[in-house]
Amino acid sequence: MIKKLATAVGLIAAATAAHAELEITLTNATQGVYFTPVFAAAHSNTFKLFTAGEEASDQLEEMAEGGDISGLVTLATNASANVSDGGDSGAPGASNGPVAPGEIKTFTIKPDAGNEYLSLAAMLLPTNDGFVTLNNWKIPTEPGTYTVNLNAYDSGTEYNDELASSQPNPPFLMTFGNPGGNGVVTSGGTGVGPTGDENGVVHIHRGNLGDLDASGGASDIDSSKHRWLNPVARLKVVVK
Does 7 reside within a domain?
no
Q: How confident is the model at residue 201 (pLDDT cuts 50, 70, 90)?
A: very high
Torsion of CA 202, 145, 88, 123, to 10 degrees: -20
Domain count, the chain: 1
Query: Contact, 185 vs 162, CB < 8 A?
Result: no
- Residues 64 and 133 sit within 8 Å (Cβ to Cβ): no
CA nearest 109: which of 43, 204, 15, 47? 43
Does some domain include residue 113?
A: yes
**Could you tell me if residue 134 is inside a domain?**
yes
CA–CA dist 80, 77 (Å, integer): 5
Answer whether residue 70 is part of any domain: yes
Write the burial class of residue 28 (CB in 10 Å: 0-12 exposed, 13-18 middle, 19+ buried).
Answer: buried
Residue 187: inside a domain: yes
| Residue 97's pLDDT band (cuts 50, 70, 90) | confident
What is the chain's mean pLDDT, rounded? 85
Instruction: Tell me if 107 sits within 8 A of 84, measured CB to CB.
Output: yes
Q: What are phi and psi of 17, to 5 degrees?
A: -70, 155
Is 13 a domain residue? no
Instruction: Give residue-wise pLDDT tens across range 41-57.
Output: 999 999 999 999 999 99
Domain residues for the domain of 46 are 18-239
Percent of the chain with pLDDT strictly greater than 70: 82
pTM for the whole structure? 0.88
Flag whether 1 is in a domain. no
Does residue 193 surpass a pLDDT of 80? Answer: no
Residue 146 lies in a domain: yes
CATH number of the CATH domain containing 92: 2.60.40.2130
